Structure 1
Amino acid sequence: MDDVQSQFTGLLEQRGIRLNDRQLDQFESYYLELVSWNEKMNLTGITDREEVYIKHFYDSLSLAFYVNMEGKNAIADIGSGAGFPGIPLKIAFPHLKLTIVDSLNKRIQFLQHVVGELKLDEVQLIHGRAEDVARKPEHRDSYDLVTARAVAKLAVLNEFCLPFVKVGGVFAAMKGTDLAEEVKEAARSLKELKGVLLEAFQFTLPVSESNRHILVVKKSNPTPGKYPRKAGTPLKSPLV
């Protein structure tokens, strides 16, 4: 274990997350594949190894500081991009059944490669728009936990993500910016999509000292039939 991994594991242990040697090898393989594929396609603007471990891997796992992963089974990561936070969560908590939805097929191809290289099981990768996938019976009102990291404003995210959440399950929005204004703006979409705000958490990312916010929303009732609206509409005309 070198200095970067030692720092990474030490910071996680402070939060009660312990990784074994196999999991550390998986994170390192993930890093190497990310940097290699990033030369061919735009996956991330962050390629420095220490920064990837903190700003992508640790940041992804920060969700587990506030949401109990042991109590979750099926999770969905919407607009996952290069696999954050879904893949790091799957590495750290192998029992999770992970579904990733992304609208760009190239990113799905990268993730298929990563899943194979890391030998991750029970990972489903879907190329499609969240609004379309959420209307399929096998995904609608089905997941214990749904998350999205830095994808869109909360009023939009609610319509992207809450239709996937089962009644009693949670949606967790991971954001860099202060959520106060977004929460006010999202009041209508929360009501329409049967979401109840449980808690908002704020913390500082170590080393980089960047601010992070995680908003946890509980799903109180099934998604009304008219939602989500057709692909592209939530972004153009948010429920505000």
Structure 2
Amino acid sequence: MSVSSSRKITQILDAELDKLVTLPVIWLTLISTFIINLALTIAFTSAALQWGAGTQSILKTGLASMGYLQAGFIILGILATCSEYTGGQIRTTLTTIPWRGVQLFTKHMALAIMTIPVAFIIAASGVLYAFMMMRDTAVAIEIDKLIKTLVGVTGYLTLTTILSAAIGAFLRRTTSALMVLLSYYFVVSPLVRDFLPSSKNYFPDTAGSSMYMLPSSDEINVLTPMQGTGVLLLWTLLFIIVAIAFYRKRDA
């Protein structure tokens, strides 16, 4: 890649990052996600303390809200790509940056750069609160296990955000993308997992959960963290490729 091409990609990436960090709706989503996750963690920790903290894992309690936390990052990904269509800003973007494939790919890169530290902080805050409240009674937590779990959670939330952004770019409508993704994650996937347990490891959310969630002793054929990462990464790349292909062919 030439120096000029590298400079162009860097400039586009800087522009996409600047757009993300200056969108009020992005910060509103992140702040709301942090507050709601903390409130849920407080509730789960309180329940664990009342019903026998001695049998509870700090990590399990601190991450008990993950099923709800992922919704905030799904919304974040959708807003990152759909917000430009709301007021027609996408026309300005494509006038300034005519290389559609590069522009959309760098948008996903910028979103990943923004999401990684935020996902880590939000997940770690829940574990930290659980540790502070349960450190005297709960099962001890190992540092290496803590680090691996938080890295897995961060990776899962980041890939989920990017996958959601790709679907948002494909559908181009915030409401439609929200309906599709929230219906899948909270309705369709749980139902399909019950009816087709042998196939559940190939679903993006189930595969992704193995990145941070330790299986129970009675579970079989569970993916390892690396396998789960691979499956979710393949889903994410597939949707990005599809989004870019349609993005290049459509009118603004």
TM-score (norm 2): 0.24
| Larger RCO, structures 1/2 (Cα 8 Å, 6+ apart) | 2
More helix by share: 2
Bigger radius of gyration: 2
More strand by share: 1
TM-score (norm 1): 0.25
